[in-house]
Amino acid sequence: MKKQKLGHAFDFQDPLDEASEYLKKAIGFLGKNKIAPTPANYAIGYEYVSGRNAALVKDIEKRSRRSGVVDSHLLADLFETYYANDPGQEFESQLCGIGKVLANVLKGVSSASDGVTAFGEELESHLQALEASPSASGIKEIVAGLLRATENAACANRELQEHLEEAQEDALQLREELNRVRRESRLDPLTGLFNRKMLAETLDEQIAAAEAGGAPLSLLMLDIDHFKRFNDTYGHLIGDEVIRRVAAAVKKHIRGTDTAARYGGEEFVVLLPDTDLSGATTVAGTIHEAVAKLTLVKKATKEKLPGITVSVGVAVLRPGEGGEDLIERADQALYHAKETGRNRIVTEQELDTGSPPAAAMG
């Protein structure tokens, strides 16, 4: 699975007539769905109507098909998934900082080198003076000159040492910043799980490892049931808390070798190496039950919120296939779970055999 990067919609060099047509369609798309034409919403709308980003188009159509609506919450999630988490500019800023540190170090070394060269030249001149058999007073002048030259060289070395120590401290701080940016570029800011970009990289690595070792690799796709109801009834902040709580439940009930990621919005993906379909279904059941036990209470009113449930699709890697195929099969199983009542687990095997989906739990 390779994520397509979304750039600024206004940066595209589309011909004027083509861009004007996309503008009309984007505004119409937002108006039809009663979504404010903010810059972020417009950018997503422009991408969608232009069709240039196939992954984004697929996401909108799939998620609107499941919920029956396209709203500002969906577009905000898509903007965060495809654009807002791009760490490129921050990386570039940190690299510029490293460049400045290196430039300062080189400047200091260059100055010190000049000092060393001057010291050598002065030593040479005093050596020549000594070889000329100077008088006693001349020898005193030569000794005084050598002392001055030696002190100047020592001073230059002290300055260089201080310069290098300062540069080392700056470099360490920049390294910490780069590590922070690197960590944050891999994580979803709301849940702390891997983001979609990191999922793509990890999935490719896991597929390669599974093929090399002949081990099974399974994938779960989870979706929070009736999530829009939480947002509409209790507000976006409660919706975010629901997502965080579900993410925490997922993370708690997987192994250290497994990978959990927020796929976008209220969807999650879990990669399970060395796990066949039966084992993956067991893990799905454990997560399903853990989510069903979650309780949320509004602090202000002490009101207990409705229970949270998830629907889950389960698929296992087939020989020679890529990540897109594996995700698509898990997504089809998830869609079937949603269509047949939600709050249940459906495996790819049930889709192939036409057998009824697993019974709802809880």
Per-range mean pLDDT, top range of 58-72, 166-180, 230-244, 251-265: 251-265
Residue with tokens 């796990």: 275
- The C-alpha atoms of residue 45 and residue 28 are separated, in whole angstroms, by 9
Indicate if 151 and 221 belong to the same structural domain.
Answer: no
Three-state DSSP state, 303: coil
Indicate if 315 and 346 belong to the same structural domain.
Answer: yes
Q: Is the pLDDT of residue 9 over 50?
A: no
What mean pLDDT is predicted for residues 300-325? 92
Nearest to 357 by CA among 283, 343, 340: 340
Residue with tokens 């047509």: 21
334-343 pLDDT, tens digit per residue, is 999 999 999 9
Max Cα-Cα span within the chain: 112
351's enclosing H/E stretch is helix 348-353
pLDDT of residue 8: 43
pLDDT of residue 14: 66
In the chain, beta strands by DSSP E: 217-224, 259-264, 267-273, 310-316, 345-347
| Residue 234 pLDDT class (50, 70, 90 cuts) | confident
Give the domain CATH number at 240.
3.30.70.270
Q: At what angle do helices 16-32 and 39-50 cross, to 10 degrees?
A: 110
135-184 pLDDT, tens digit per residue, is 666 666 766 666 676 666 667 666 666 666 666 666 566 566 655 655 56
What mean pLDDT is predicted for residues 119-130? 62
Residue with tokens 């490293």: 98
- More reliable by pLDDT, 130 or 295: 295
Nearest to 124 by CA among 152, 144, 146: 146
The dihedral through the CA atoms of 202, 204, 210, 216 has a sign that is: positive
Token pair belonging to 357: 């989906």
300's enclosing H/E stretch is none
Nearest to 347 by CA among 362, 360, 358: 358
Residue that is last in its domain, among 135, 158, 186: 186
**Residues 258, 270 contacting (CB under 8 angstroms):** yes
77-98 pLDDT, tens digit per residue, is 788 777 655 555 555 555 555 5
Indicate if 110 and 42 belong to the same structural domain.
Answer: no
Indicate if 324 and 200 belong to the same structural domain.
Answer: yes
Residue that is last in its domain, among 186, 206, 227: 186
Domain residues for the domain of 109 are 88-186
Indicate if 163 and 221 belong to the same structural domain.
Answer: no
Backbone angles phi, psi at 255, to 5 degrees: -80, 170
pLDDT, averaged across the chain: 78
Number of independent structural domains in the chain:
3
Nearest to 159 by CA among 120, 105, 100: 105
| Residue 130 pLDDT class (50, 70, 90 cuts) | low
Indicate if 293 and 347 belong to the same structural domain.
Answer: yes
pLDDT of residue 150: 67
Indicate if 74 and 109 belong to the same structural domain.
Answer: no
Indicate if 111 and 67 belong to the same structural domain.
Answer: no
Q: How many beta carbons lie within 10 A of that of residue 338, not counting itself? A: 19
Q: At what angle do helices 236-252 and 227-234 cross, to 10 degrees?
A: 140
- The C-alpha atoms of residue 150 and residue 158 are separated, in whole angstroms, by 12
142's enclosing H/E stretch is helix 136-186
- pTM across the whole model: 0.62
Residue that is last in its domain, among 84, 110, 143: 84
